[in-house]
């Protein structure tokens, strides 16, 4: 049984800023590129062809779209203490894609699109990191033209299984 995640991998011209923040605060920074998760990790026996057909059906009318990320938010919940980079443009497109994917496979959990740039053991560590980045006004914009399916490999290393081009 494979553990997979479905994500967007934005390609920003200034991604080095995000990478610096993630290197400092995100334990997965060296395992997976900066991303926006659409479907959180799930285990399945689906074959690659079945997943490709699912994506073809669910996303057949989705065209490439613009995203912009800017500003930071703290998230504290039962899953941990997180630092998010906020999506300020493209939120509706991302939610629509996520809803289409959920409708096809009946995953059910609350979803607010974001890019995780830090995960912390304590609220105090999160607060300190947030204080360091909260006034940063860098903006990150690009066109999203594909949805990726990742297999989570040993030691949480990202293995891209499928890159589904939008608008095809």
CATH number, domain containing residue 118? 3.90.1140.10
Is it the case that residue 106 has pLDDT exceeding 60? Answer: no
- Helices 123-133 and 15-25: crossing angle, nearest 10°? 160
What is the model's pTM?
Answer: 0.91
Contact at 8 Å (CB) between 3 and 40? no
Q: How confident is the model at residue 161 (pLDDT cuts 50, 70, 90)?
A: very high
Share of the chain above pLDDT 90, in %: 76
What span, in angstroms and rounded, lies between the C-alpha atoms of 67 and 146? 13
Domain that holds residue 109: 2-165
List Cα–Cα distances, 120 to 16, 31, 71, 137, 141, in angstroms.
21, 17, 18, 22, 26
What span, in angstroms and rounded, lies between the C-alpha atoms of 142 and 12? 6
- Position 1 scores a pLDDT of 86
| pLDDT tens sequence across 108-138 | 556 778 999 999 999 999 999 999 999 999 9
Average pLDDT, the chain: 92
What span, in angstroms and rounded, lies between the C-alpha atoms of 141 and 81? 26
What span, in angstroms and rounded, lies between the C-alpha atoms of 79 and 71? 22
Is it the case that residue 142 has pLDDT exceeding 80? Answer: yes
Tally of domains in the chain: 1
- Position 10 scores a pLDDT of 97
């Amino acid at each position: 049984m494979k553990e997979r995640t479905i994500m967007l991998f934005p390609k920003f011209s200034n991604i080095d800023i995000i990478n610096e923040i993630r290197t400092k605060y995100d334990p997965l920074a060296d395992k997976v590129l900066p991303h926006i998760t659409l479907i959180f990790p799930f285990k399945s026996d689906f074959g690659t062809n079945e997943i490709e057909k699912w994506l073809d059906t669910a996303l057949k009318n989705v065209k490439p779209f613009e995203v912009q990320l800017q500003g930071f938010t703290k998230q504290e919940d039962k899953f941990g203490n997180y630092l998010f980079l906020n999506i300020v443009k493209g939120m509706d497109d991302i939610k629509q894609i996520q809803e289409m994917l959920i409708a096809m496979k009946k995953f059910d959990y609350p979803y607010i699109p974001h890019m995780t740039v830090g995960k912390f053991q304590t609220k105090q560590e999160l607060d300190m990191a947030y204080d360091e980045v909260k006034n940063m006004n860098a903006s990150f914009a690009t066109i999203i033209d594909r949805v990726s399916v990742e297999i989570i490999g040993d030691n949480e290393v990202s293995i891209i299984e499928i890159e589904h081009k939008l608008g095809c």
